[in-house]
A and B are shown apart, each in its own frame.
Chain A
Amino acid sequence: MYMNIGFSGLMDAGWSSTADVQSLQRGDHDPAVRGFTVPNEEITLDGAVDPYFKGFVDIVYKIDPEGESALELEEAYILTTSLPANLQLKAGQFYTEFGRQNQQHPHAWVFVDQPLVLNRMFGPDGMRGQGARLSWLAPTSWYTEAMVTVQNSLGETMYSFRSEESSEIHGGIPAEREVRGGGDMVVVPRLATSFDLTPTQTLLLGVSGAFGPNNSGTSNRTSVYGADLYWRWKSATAGQGFPFFSLQSEVLYRRYGAAEREAIDQATVTLPRETIGDRGAYTQVLWGIRPRIVAGLRAEVASGNTTSFDSELRADRTRISPNFTLYPSEFSKVRLQYNYDDRKGIGRDHSIWLQFEFILGAHAAHRF
């Protein structure tokens, strides 16, 4: 076959102390109800197009709590394989390369749900869009990669920029604005570097930025900054990849310049010009105990400054999630996770989720 075809199916089952699960679990691929959720059924295709390009396609089917099916073209892009000067171009529709987790497909997540800070900055679906990414592998003796992505600023998946859902961030009616020039695109530079601290330990560090127009007004801009760290230890005599330890941490800050705007929920109220600031972080630790068993713990915070409008979505939040995953083989997993959720001014919630995943066909190898 000239193409690899793979399918991964995710299912969640569980309970939460709040009946309005979606207000708590705000990711689009999170559990959505008390009961059963089918959040992500994904077909991936990849292969060499010719000696110059590789192609990747990612199509996701979801069923929402009302039983409606939705189809999403998550990614469809080409990657060059033989540009000179250590360059590489990616073009099409793809997850924006910001930080570490934003570009991971849900079936590769090590926790059941999207981190709070990524939901706050990039929305329920993460940041992805149409555009191109140019990357350069520097001629250093240790890994250093510099890249810049340019994508359209309009769309549901451009939450911090020009999305219909951006009202959740600025509380106003979205302004109509056109693409007048290059400045109306979203530009995402990223620099990543990695060292092998020892033959069994690797550290990867990155910084990212996302800059573009937002739709609170006709000439307003958003800046998002992120730093990420990944550390991993794997035994020199690792069998099937075990035992290992890993730690992943991301911290993000968004500066959202909001224009004077009409409040979306109160027709007569005008919100003043202001800077909306949001920040947050997560750290997750994994312990690969012995073949096919992984224990995990994630701690997260997300918060923002005081703004002229009230929003439940801007409540300060902390969450702690211990979990335990069993992989009967490389092609299936069962995960149990408990979430302790604290939303300031709203209350504390407890949720327990059981997740199951299966893979058919080619299983694309994951990036480090």
Chain B
Amino acid sequence: MKTIALLSFAAAALGAPRGTTEPLAAKLSVVATTPDLASLAKAIGGDAVDVKALAKPTEDSHFVDAKPSHIVTLNRADVLIEGGAELELGWLPPLLESARNSRIAAGAPGRVVASHGIKMLEIPETFDRSKGDVHALGNPHFMIDPLNAKIIAADIADHLAQVDPKSADVFKANLQAFNTALDAKLAEWQKQLAPYRGAKIVTYHKDFVYLAERFGLVVVETLEPKPGIAPSPAHLAKVITTMRAEKARVILVQPYQNRRTAETVARQTDAVVLDVSQQPGAIKGTDTYLDLMDHLVQTLVNALQGDK
């Protein structure tokens, strides 16, 4: 009796073990490295998937802790979606080494690398760290261009269908719905930002280049002198001079970036600091990718409008 009780307790405590080759009949376990990718996965997967993001919406996705709970999450995943282009280079590899999950191995149907279909901007000609921590494969913050989100959504739908063929029709339908919604929204955003083509903006890090490219904005300066290098007084003086000359009155700052530095510069240039994020969930009311872009565009329009 005691043995049976002990074994039952052990079985209950351990839960159901999972093999490393066959996906479960229940919902697919989809893991995304960042919340923006998770948002696309939710839109495409719908009820057929359970989606989890490893990075928090409010944290710097270059520097996520490779904590052991992420190993467990990756071990149980049917699909992994990563940004790629070296964004997760500082933390994903040791997690994958410990994850023991061939479903999400490189090249497997369950492994989606978002950067693979994207036309990358700012691919460096030489690899030289005196230029700061430049990503060798180009600027990895490409999700902030809605047309890139469409490409990635299609890629996700494709991989989900390979992993779970019986739900392929669901994914296709969801993708179509997503594309329809996004096309309509994109037309709206283009219309809202049209009067501000050529407007000069400043960002903390070089992370809004794809947005600028898509909507015709001009990033005249970043508060970081070089990617990953802290703002120095000398560089900030240069930024202030440039902002005055170019009449740039808007500084974009994400939740994990140093707002006080941005405020100091804003005070000296009559500019306004905009609290924005590239990750759904960081700011209230931005739980999906489309909501996030809505908030971003509206925030920009309000600020640039006030300027005119």
Using an 8 Å CB-CB cutoff, how does the interface string of B39-83 with A read, 1 for contact, 0 for none? 000000000000000001011101101111101100100000000
Residues of A in contact (CB 8 Å), total 47
Q: Beyond A236-B59, A237-B255, is A137–B69 a contact (Cβ under 8 Å)?
A: no
A202-B65, A237-B59 known; A137-B256 Cβ under 8 A: no
A11-19, A21-29, A139-147, A277-285: which lies at the interface = A139-147
B68 touches A143 (CB 8 A): yes
A368 and B100 in contact (CB under 8 A), knowing A139-B14, A139-B15, A140-B14? no
Interface of B, helix, strand, loop or mixed by DSSP = loop
Q: Are A83 and B100 in contact (CB under 8 A)?
A: yes
B21 contacts A by Cβ under 8 Å? yes
Given A139-B18, A329-B229, A366-B94, CB of A82 within 8 Å of CB of B257: no
Q: Is A88 an interface residue (CB 8 A)?
A: yes
The contact size tier of chain B is: 35 or more
Q: Which of A83, A195, A236, A329 is the one whose CB lies under 8 Å from B56?
A: A236
Indicate the member of A87, A199, A241, A363 with the most B CB atoms within 10 Å: A241
- Shortest C-beta distance, A97 to chain B (Å), equals 12
Residues of B within 8 Å of A138, CB to CB, are 14
Among B13, B94, B132, residue most surrounded by chain A Cβ atoms (within 10 Å): B94
B94–A365 contact, CB under 8 A? yes
Contact A368 B129 (CB under 8 A): no
> With contacts A86-B100, A237-B255 known, is A137 near B71, CB below 8 A?
yes
**A265: Cβ under 8 A from any B Cβ:** no
Expressed in whole angstroms, the Cα–Cα distance for A29 and B66 within the complex equals 26
Q: Are B60 and A239 in contact (CB under 8 A)?
A: yes
Interface positions, chain B 85-118, Cβ under 8 Å from A, are: 89-94, 97-98, 100, 102, 105-107
With an 8 A cutoff between CB atoms, is B298 at the interface? Answer: no
Considering the complex, which residues of chain A in the window 84-137 have a beta carbon less than 8 Å from any beta carbon of chain B?
84-88, 137
Q: Give the contacting residue for B21; candidates A84, A137, A194; CB below 8 A.
A: A84
State whether the Cβ of A367 lies closer than 8 Å to any Cβ in chain B. Answer: yes
Asked if A368 meets B67 with Cβ closer than 8 Å, knowing A137-B75, A137-B98, A140-B15, the reply is yes
B60, B75, B89, B258: the one contacting A241 at CB < 8 Å is: B60
CA gap between A255 and B18 in the complex, in Å: 40
Structural contact, B105 and A51, CB atoms closer than 8 A? yes
A223 to B158, CA, bound (A): 55
CA distance A87 to B16 in the complex (A): 17
Which chain B residues border A85 with CB–CB below 8 Å?
A: 19-20
A347-368: CB near B (< 8 Å → 1, else 0) gives: 0000000000000000111111
Where the two chains meet, the residues of A that have a C-beta atom closer than 8 Å to any C-beta of B are: 48, 51, 54, 79, 81-88, 137-143, 145, 192, 194-196, 199, 202, 204, 232, 234-241, 291-292, 329-331, 363-368
Q: Which 6 A-B pairs have the closest CB atoms?
A: A143-B68, A194-B68, A241-B63, A139-B17, A239-B256, A82-B102
Add 14 more A-B contacts to A86-B20, A239-B258 (CB < 8 A). Answer: A51-B105, A81-B97, A82-B20, A82-B105, A84-B21, A85-B19, A88-B98, A139-B15, A143-B68, A202-B69, A236-B56, A237-B58, A238-B60, A329-B229
